[in-house]
Amino acid sequence: MQMHVNLDYRQHNWRLGFHLQTAVGWLSDPNGLCQFNGEYHIFHQYAPRWPWAGHGWGHWTSRDLTTWEFHRGAIIPEMELDKNGSYSGSAVVRDGQMWCYYTGNVLAPGKHNYDYEGRQANETLVISEDGRTFSDRKLVLGNDGYPDYCSCHVRDPKVWWQNDTWNMLLGARTMDDHPAMLLYQSPDGVNDWKLAGSCTTISGEPFGYMWECPNIVSLGGREFFFVCPQGVPSQVTKFQNNFNSGYFPVEGTVIDLLSGDPDLMDAEKPYGCIDENTFVELDYGFDFYAPQVFTDEKGRQILEGWMGLPDIEMQYQVPTYEWLHTLTWLRELSLNEAGNICQWPLPEYDALHGDRVEFTNEGAADSCGKLGTSNYDAFCICGAKGAKFANGTADVYLKGIEGEGRLMLNGDLELVVIGDMIELAFHGIAGGYRTVRRLPVAELSAGKLEDVRMVVDTSAVEIYINGGEKTMSTRWWPQEITNLSVTSTFNAEETYAYEMGRFTFLNVC
């Protein structure tokens, strides 16, 4: 299926103002997030010659989070350990050095199925003294060290120090296509990584067939175990994307959950169990996956996700032509009174705020004509308020919302509350193939929509609901790039927005 967009992609390339983007190629999972000697480092999966494979780690640095320097490929697949991809992983800052762990993907030559045989997953370490150059690669754990029940899909090391030892979580798929999580421990982070635990779901029913990109978060004295399940069947209001991201609140520690008594550990199957019904989804938009969490020098636990999804490249290929994907803003994690994890953009981004714009009836005046493509043509926009943004970007706030309403971008994309459902819906071609994502109002601990922040950047939209208790992250392909029209029919105490400046991108053409 082709998407019909009458645009010259080279002139109309939906480049972003304040999200990271490469000049060409593929960008995906955030990797190795850390703050090292004051500087923030964002790595990500990067294949500059996409659609030819060869994922390595792209690398960005910033001190203030608004000026970003691109250092191109920090880890490039080229060695025996990772010749078919330097896959995702995490960073640890220790002893004045940055230690990056990732999975080296190696495919055996010849004919193989590569799921159950023919692939090596090499957990690899590289060290940086200066945050710019990296040591030779060192294999710290390979196929020999994985339990027999694992298929060839074992990856995405999350490494951290706890219980006086170095811990590594690895996502896995079993030979019978169940998901599993593996825990390894090492005295020094280099040698003797030994299996110390594992888990799958409690019911024995598969919750997907693979868990990718594990993370561990500690908030309010409680641990949360983040995973990205692949293969959970979609439902109307749950798991709406092809792959999903979320967390399990854990009783006790993640290490306890996975480890238990080593003498009882079973070589035949994963050991610990987790109740899949406790899984909380992180995002309800169209484009969010593989988030990673790190703690910065201020002690903030910060999440960043990929605004994209794997295995649906065709949805993205046409619109931006030669560059694909972006990452969300960095979001601080906190717990609200209901004990749910909230995500909120770091305040450093407020430096991009320009003039504050109040929404007015006049600002919405010519929106009616633009609503012609909507499936909801019949709704009343009497009393709608709006504003226009000449450069196509805005940071929009609705506070103290009462009742139903809709917040529209150009009549192409709208966030709408109808009865007990919040919908993010595309009208026409701005969504590519996509139509709607749903968030039941009952998922909100307040029992109603109270406030919305919508960060609109050319072709990326991040929506923060009720203080970030729920988010909806999505790409869109508006036909009007520069003239952004934002219209609201919500009855809200305050409705305003900021015009937005741009990141300073160094080293990106």
Shortest distance, position 277 Cβ to ligand FRU, whole Å: 24
Residue whose C-alpha is closest to residue 200's, from 116, 275, 267: 275
296 to 355, contacts with ligand FRU by CB under 6 A? Answer: 310
> Within a 10 A sphere around the Cβ of 16, how many other Cβ atoms?
21
The residue (of 69 and 115) whose beta carbon lies closer to ligand FRU is 115
Question: CB of residue 102 vs ligand FRU: minimum separation in angstroms?
Answer: 8
Q: Which of residues 184-243 bind ligand FRU (CB under 6 A)?
A: 212-213
Q: Does the footprint of ligand FRU cover residue 290 (CB under 6 A)?
A: yes
> Which listed residue (45, 410, 488, 489) binds ligand FRU by CB under 6 A?
45
Q: Is 478 exposed, middle or buried (0-12, 13-18, 19+ CB in 10 A)?
A: buried
In the bound state with ligand FRU, the residue whose beta carbon lies nearer, of 246 and 386, is 246
Instruction: Quote the Cα angle for 414-27-42, to 5°.
Output: 100
The DSSP code sequence of 51-69 is TS---EEEEEEESSSSEEE
Q: Which is nearer to ligand FRU, 29 or 281 (CB)?
A: 29
Whether the Cβ atoms of residue 300 and residue 219 lie closer than 8 Å to each other: no
Q: How many Å apart are CA 105 and CA 68, to the nearest integer?
A: 29
Residue 28 beta carbon to ligand FRU: minimum distance, rounded to whole angstroms: 5
> Of 174 and 458, which has the nearer Cβ to ligand FRU?
174
Q: How far is the CB of 314 from ligand FRU (least distance, A)?
A: 17
The answer to whether 495 contacts ligand FRU (rule: CB under 6 A) is no
d(CA 193, CA 166): 9
Nearer to ligand FRU, 154 or 384 (CB): 154
Q: Toward ligand FRU, which CB reaches closer, 210 or 407? A: 210
DSSP 8-state symbol, 320: H
Q: Which two tokens stand for residue 60?
A: 């960005």
Cβ atoms of 249 and 257 within 8 Å: the answer is no
Member of 19, 41, 44, 55 binding ligand FRU (CB under 6 A): 55
How would you class 35 by CB atoms within 10 Å of its CB: exposed for 0-12, middle for 13-18, buried for 19 or more?
buried
Name which of 103 and 466 has its Cβ closer to ligand FRU.
103
User: Nearer Cβ to ligand FRU, position 225 or 349?
Assistant: 225
Cα(421)–Cα(443) distance, integer angstroms: 10
End-to-end CA distance of the chain: 31
Question: From the centroid of its chain, how far is CA 251?
Answer: 25
The mark string for 377-406 relative to ligand FRU (x by CB under 6 A, - otherwise) is ------------------------------
User: Among residues 304 and 412, whose Cβ is nearest to ligand FRU?
Assistant: 304
Give which of 227, 325, 232, 321 is closest to 29, Cα–Cα.
325
**Residues within window 99-158 making contact with ligand FRU, judged by CB under 6 A:** 103, 155-156
CB of 30 vs ligand FRU, minimal distance in Å: 10
- Please name the amino acid found at residue 302: I
Tokens encoding 213: 């990109």
The reply to whether 29 sits near ligand FRU by the rule CB under 6 A is yes
Nearer to ligand FRU, 156 or 395 (CB): 156
Q: Minimum Å distance from CB 379 to ligand FRU?
A: 38
With CB under 6 A, what is the number of residues at the site for ligand FRU? 14
Name the pairing type of β-strands 25-36 and 323-324.
parallel
Q: Between residues 119 and 406, which has the closer beta carbon with respect to ligand FRU?
A: 119
Supply the minimum distance, in Å, between the C-beta of residue 310 and ligand FRU. Answer: 5
CB of 29 to ligand FRU, least distance (A): 5
Which residues does residue 201 pair with via DSSP β-bridges, in sequence order? 274
> Which of 87, 134, 225, 505 is close enough to bind ligand FRU by CB under 6 A?
87
Taking every pair of C-alpha atoms in the chain, what is the biggest distance, in angstroms? 72
Q: How far is the CB of 431 from ligand FRU (least distance, A)?
A: 22
Phi-psi region of 204 (alpha: psi -120 to 50; beta: other; left: phi over 0): left
Q: Rounded CA gap, 17 and 20, in Å? A: 8
Residue choice 13, 21, 62, 88 for contact with ligand FRU (CB under 6 A) = 88
Contact 104, 121 (CB under 8 A): yes
Between 140 and 352, whose beta carbon lies closer to ligand FRU? 140
Closer CB to ligand FRU, residue 208 or residue 478? 208
Find the shortest distance in angstroms from Cβ 25 to ligand FRU: 13
> Which H or E run includes 370?
helix 367-370
What is the closest distance, in whole angstroms, from the C-beta atom of residue 254 to ligand FRU in the complex?
Answer: 19
50 binds ligand FRU (CB under 6 A): no
Chain-centre distance of CA 225, in angstroms? 15
Shortest distance, position 275 Cβ to ligand FRU, whole Å? 23
Q: What tokens appear for 429 in the block?
A: 């071609």
CB 230 to ligand FRU: min, Å: 8
DSSP 253-317: -HHHHHHS-GGG--SSS--EEE-GGG-EES--SSS-EEEEEEE-TT--EEEEEESS-TT-HHHHH
Q: What is the binding site for ligand FRU (CB under 6 A)?
A: 28-29, 45, 55, 87-88, 103, 155-156, 212-213, 289-290, 310
